[in-house]
Amino acid sequence: MPGPQNRAPRRPLSVRGPRPAARIGDNSRLRIAVGRILLIGALLIAGVKLVQVQGIQAEELSAQAQKQRTTRQNIPAERGSILDRNGNQLAFSIEVRALYILPQRARKTWDDARAKDPEKYPLSYEDHSREVARFISSTLGPEVNGEKTDEESVYQQLVKDISYEVLVSEAEPEKAAKIVAKYPAEIGSEYRSKRIYPNGDLASNIIGAANWRQDEKPPTTQGILGLENAQDNVLAGRMGRRVVDTMSGDDTLVIPNTERELVKPAPGKSLELTIDIDTQYAVQRMVTDYAAKSGAKNASAVVLDSRTGEIVAMANDKTYDPTEFGKASEDQKRNGAVSSLFEPGSVNKIVTAAAAVEYGLFKPDDVLSVPGSIKVADRIIRDAWNHPTVPMSFTGVFAKSSNVGTLLAAQEVGKERYAEMLQKFGLGKRTQSGVPAEEAGVVPPLGQWSGSTFGNLPIGQGLSMTLLQMTGMYQAIANDGLRIPPRLVRAEIGEEGARSEKQRPEGVRVVSPETAKTVRDMFRSVTQSDPRDPNQSGTGRQAALPGYQIAGKTGTAQQIDQTCKCYSQSQYWITFAGILPADNPRYVVGIMLDAPSGTPFSTSAAPLFHDIATFLTQRFQIPLSTEQTPYVQLQK
């Protein structure tokens, strides 16, 4: 009988074995299926919404979008100031605010709010506007810079049936903020800038004018005349950017209090000028008074620092108020000191004197036999007074302003060397001073000279220059023969007072220091006075200043008579250029009078030089000359 076998015990029929493992990928397929269902649902919802927007609500939404949209705008930068050499303000900007309302929108917003909640908004729009007008008037006062802001005037603006209305253009920012904070849903505030000229018409021919231009895109302060225009890029700075909500598709109608700044504007640089405000004021007043006393059509004066060529003052008798430049005539707006060309007359004789000394042709005490007239080509040139042939010292030729003696010396210099000297003195081209609207003047090229040209140029006829150029000629002699081109802008001043000095122009050697001193000494005799013998007096004795050596030169040049196209016998340019003091030069003054007539002051600008020089000695505490001007025998 076989023995027992080793078999595994049987499992009860009611107990299941382990489940087979799940197949990979079953859950992923489930998730994908669910995602598809959701996506299809979302697309169905979006489709329904799209149909609703483009079909059912299209007209309504389009109207809303048309009423309001986002617009990017530029933000004007703060404009730089214009300062004198000592930091005194000649022009600067202040921030103001224009308060405005969108009356039609304000009325609709108020009426809609009142319809929804009459208890919260019990007043009609008219009654509410009366409250707003009362608050604005009490905050601003009845008038702001000529604009009416009394309660009734403001109310009438608030209830107009128009889309946009400016309530006031130049409100103080603090007061404007108070009003906007009180009525933010109705009143909007817009940045504006106002240009201030604290000294009125002082130096207005130089500074020019700038004002807020609302018609520009974007609105900004823009230079219109003078330096304000010529240096607009420096003064204006760099605009910023902002986002605003605008109404009715018009980018100019900004919904109140919707501005969001993106990029801050960079303020403009300030300009520091070489002008001294006190000297400018005094010279401008004296020029204006002297023009009236002399009967001149126009008058100008320039004061240069003899060592640096800097323009300390530049004045014209006609000026204007920069805040009302639109009322000024073209003659008032012109800067005659750089834009009016004239023939300088005998002031130009310094070219002959400098050339003759530089080339060793004459010494101050050399004696010339000077006849009463001289023939040059087909012209006869005479002296201003009748005289036979007389012996004059070379110094006396210029002190007495002898045309004949000057031409005798010029002939010794020669045409080529004389033409070269005119160029060295800077004539016939702009000085590059930085003064706007500067003219170049006219000097005929040597190759175009006629036979009589060399009879005109040495006595200051047949060429033209500006007053600034004429004054610059004497600056060269005052500065030991080194001409420094004049300049007006001294420095640019950026943010936080960062000062950038403008590079000084390089000097031009005209004559040697020895020649310059000799000519200065010679031209002192122009102001010499001898009551015992008129033949020993200079033509500019009225320019003399007690205690100071003065070197200078008078000038009288015939103007062109337009009827005959010939030199007039009654209309003249009267000029004077002087160096103060001659023994230690500090300042050079140039003066031009246009056609003075009918008064005792019509024949000379020397008295005006005397007055200006007197002021300069006091203003800048110029020490007295160590010696009085030595007496020189002018005519033997």
pLDDT above 60 (res 18): no
Q: How confident is the model at residue 24 (pLDDT cuts 50, 70, 90)?
A: very low
Please indicate whether residue 129 or residue 247 has the higher confidence score (pLDDT).
129
Structure tokens that stand for 103 in this block: 């009356």
Q: In this model, does residue 247 exceed pLDDT 90?
A: no
Three-state secondary-structure class, residue 184 = coil
Torsions phi, psi for 261 (to 5 deg): -75, 135
Residues 166 and 79: beta-carbon distance below 8 Å = no
Mean pLDDT, rounded, of the chain: 90
How would you class 38 by CB atoms within 10 Å of its CB: exposed for 0-12, middle for 13-18, buried for 19 or more? exposed
Q: What is the DSSP code (8-state) at residue 579?
A: E
pLDDT of residue 52: 58
Q: Tell me the C-alpha distance between 114 and 120, whole Å.
A: 7
Q: How many CA atoms lie within 13 A of 238 on its CB side?
A: 5
Distance in Å from the first CA to the final CA of the chain: 182
Percent residues over pLDDT 70 in the chain: 90
Query: What pLDDT is stored for residue 12 in this prediction?
Result: 47
pLDDT at 45: 75
**pTM as predicted:** 0.84
Length of the chain: 636
Instruction: Give the whole-angstrom CA distance, residue 239 versus residue 266.
Output: 6
Q: At what angle do helices 349-358 and 415-424 cross, to 10 degrees?
A: 110
Which pLDDT band, with edges at 50, 70 and 90, does 22 fall under? Answer: very low
277-322+330-488+502-620 under CATH 3.40.710.10, yes or no? yes
Burial call 230-254: b when 16+ CB within 10 Å, e when fewer: bbbebbbbebbebebbbbeeeeebb
Does residue 235 contact residue 216 with C-beta atoms inside 8 Å?
no
The CA distances from residue 347 to 340, 390, 474, 539, 628, in Å, are 17, 23, 9, 11, 24
From the number of C-beta atoms within 10 Å of its C-beta (0-12, 13-18, 19+), residue 369 rates as: exposed
Is a pLDDT exceeding 80 seen at residue 124?
A: yes
DSSP 257-310: T--EEEEPPBPPPEEEES--HHHHHHHHHHHHHHHHHHT-SEEEEEEEETTT-B
Q: Residue 344: is it exposed, middle or buried by C-beta count within 10 angstroms (0-12/13-18/19+)?
A: buried
* The pLDDT value given to residue 121: 93
Please tell me the distance from the alpha carbon of residue 166 to that of residue 457, in angstroms, as a whole number.
62
Task: With cut-offs at 50, 70 and 90, classify the pLDDT of residue 6.
Answer: very low
- Structure tokens of 621? 């505490």
Catalytic residues: 346
Burial class (CB in 10 A: 0-12, 13-18, 19+), 323: middle
Distance, CA of 348 to CA of 523 (rounded, Å): 12
Of the chain, the percentage scoring pLDDT greater than 90 comes to: 78
pLDDT score recorded for residue 255: 75
What is the per-residue pLDDT for 5?
46
Q: How far apart are CA 72 and CA 214, in angstroms?
A: 17
Q: Where are the domains of the chain?
A: 73-273, 277-322+330-488+502-620
Model confidence pLDDT, tens digit, residues 130-163: 999 999 999 999 999 999 999 999 999 999 999 9
Tell me phi and psi for residue 319, to 5 degrees. Answer: -135, -170
Residue 453 CA to residue 444 CA, distance in Å, equals 9
pLDDT digits (tens, 9 = 90+) for 321-332: 999 999 999 999
What CATH number does the domain located at 73-273 have?
Answer: 3.90.1310.10
How far apart are the C-alpha atoms of 380 and 149, rounded to whole Å?
Answer: 74
